[in-house]
Amino acid sequence: MNSDAIKKDVPKRALFHALGLTNEEIDQPLIGIVSSYNEIVPGHMNIDKVVQAVKTGVSMAGGTPLVFPAIAVCDGIAMGHRGMKYSLVTRELIADSTEAMTIAHALDALVLVPNCDKNVPGLLMAAARLNVPAIFVSGGPMLAGRVQGKKTSFSSASEAVGAYAAGKITKEVLNEYEANTCPTCGSCSGMYTANSMNCLTEALGMGLKGNGTVPAVYSARLQLAKHAGMQIMKLLKENICPRDIMTMDAFENALAVDMALGCSTNSALHLPAIAHECGLELNLDILNRISEHTPNLCHLAPAGHTYIEDLNEAGGVYAVMKELADGGLLHTDCMTCTGKTVAENIADSVNKNPEVIRPLDHPYSQTGGIAVLRGNLAPDGCVVKRSAVSPKMLKHKGPARVFNSEEDAMSAILGGKIHADDVVVIRYEGPKGGPGMREMLNPTSAIMGCGLGESVALITDGRFSGATRGAAIGHISPEAAVGGPIALIQDGDSIEIDIPNHSIKIDVPEAELTARRAVWKPKEQHVTGYLARYAALVTSGSKGAVLSLQN
């Protein structure tokens, strides 16, 4: 189906005339522009300008741009209260509403303009599901802030709260972090979820060069948007569709770039969900396989002291891909939204700063930024951002401190009740148990701010912000709400974590776990509306937390 189905019909043409469209505009290809603009999310406040530039590009190339909206939640604002239950769940709302608008109005192609967190994967899922020609251009990353002469990012402000609670900084310094951490519009300046997914959109082949790294406030962002608007007309003419681009090889490329960049652990939720819409299975075993032979080349905040603006100046995602390709670690024959292959796209790319993008012979580690662990505590797997873990915490054993909500854990951490060697366990925060699989940035930041980052681990069936660093292990599957082993842990149980050997286990005899399971009762939930429907349909975090009638 294309727009001919509607624009050859007189009553429908009458409605297009009501929009002020001329006959010439109606007769051109109708290009949907999905705008994620809103006045709540800092990463989206500039998207109106990006969309206007896309419209210019589409018109220049002979198409008729038609804008419709997509919602977006700011994870930073939603963090730490019931609002975070509504973050991950928007991914499906975004995909579903984009599907509805595109098919209802028989649009010929799409330019999708996301920026933050669930907005990017939601629109990638929609593009895969619809499989009409599509291209992405994001709103762009924020510039780094500066506090006391040092670059900062959103996680710096989060950790400052813990430092203040521990008496390590003054109220005046805390106020400096509040005022200066986020100085411009854009997605937060570190390699958090938003920037991870925007960079991986380039690696997948669905965004032009610079999509993930050109800062939001740069005029080059508007030029990029115009080029995306023009390029969609070429993709339409050549009938290059998302599933032609997002093949299994393309997903493996994205995972390799993920490992090299040290992306957010949320990519282990989103890439499988996007692949699912393409009819592909991207399981956690594939993630570990690629991680084991892909070196970690970047330590961007929160793992290190470089930022997305530094990655952009060093050559961006294409420079990282060139390093990987030269080592035989990418599929270079994949088609992309440029109409060219990966090999053609990155042929002239140069690593301009080997301190920001380390060469293959001098990586931060020989293995990738993310690792999947398994064991009797997580039979279906769990995920850790290995590149953001102190070497001292790659192996850890300690007593469990168990909490049935994020709020209870936060009270204990800020109240000085967590001590060296402890393993903080936060459960009933999974996809079903939350519901919504809340991010745990506040407790992880509090642990770091209190000076416990090299002595305390945290595990959860929830997930983490890309801003999290430390021995923070999430997506524990099966989750507590369905009776997974995490539901059976008691205070004082010994938990052993071995990240290099991909292991996580509870040191409790199987007979004792069986006895506990016999008397276990799930935590009561009191949710209504969309959250209740979501909880009924959502699958495990190990499967990307996609919705299914047979979960």
Q: Confirm if 87 and 464 have CB atoms less than 8 A apart.
A: no
Closest by CA position to 208, among listed 273, 118, 113, 131: 113
Active site residue 465: yes
How far is residue 111 from each of residues 22, 57, 254, 314, 510, measured CA to CA in Å?
22, 11, 21, 27, 53
Q: Hey, how many other C-beta atoms are within 10 angstroms of the C-beta on 478? A: 21
CA atoms within 13 A on the CB side of 485: 26
Q: Confirm if 157 and 181 have CB atoms less than 8 A apart.
A: yes
Calpha distance 35→32 (Å, rounded)? 9
Q: What is the pairing mode between strands 64-69 and 395-403? A: unpaired
- Classify 327 as helix, strand or coil: coil
Residue 533: partners with Cβ closer than 8 Å, 6 or more residues away: none
Calpha distance 214→309 (Å, rounded)? 7
Helix ranges, 375-481 (H): 406-414, 441-449
CA angle 65, 69, 70 (to 5 degrees): 130
Neighbour-count burial of 503, counting CB atoms closer than 10 A to its CB (0-12 exposed, 13-18 middle, 19+ buried): middle
- Exactly one of 97, 187, 267, 465 is catalytic; which is it? 465
Residue 237: partners with Cβ closer than 8 Å, 6 or more residues away: none
Amino acid letter, 512: E
Calpha distance 289→281 (Å, rounded)? 14
Calpha distance 276→370 (Å, rounded)? 20
Q: Confirm if 463 and 444 have CB atoms less than 8 A apart.
A: no
CA atoms within 13 A on the CB side of 39: 0
Report phi then psi at 372, rounded to 5.
-105, 130
Q: Which two tokens stand for residue 531?
A: 């959250």
Q: Confirm if 379 and 413 have CB atoms less than 8 A apart.
A: no
Residue appearing with tokens 């093949």? 247
Closest by CA position to 449, among listed 168, 193, 54: 168
Q: Confirm if 354 and 298 have CB atoms less than 8 A apart.
A: no
Calpha distance 200→273 (Å, rounded)? 14
DSSP 8-state assignment for residue 82: G
Active-site residues: which are they?
465
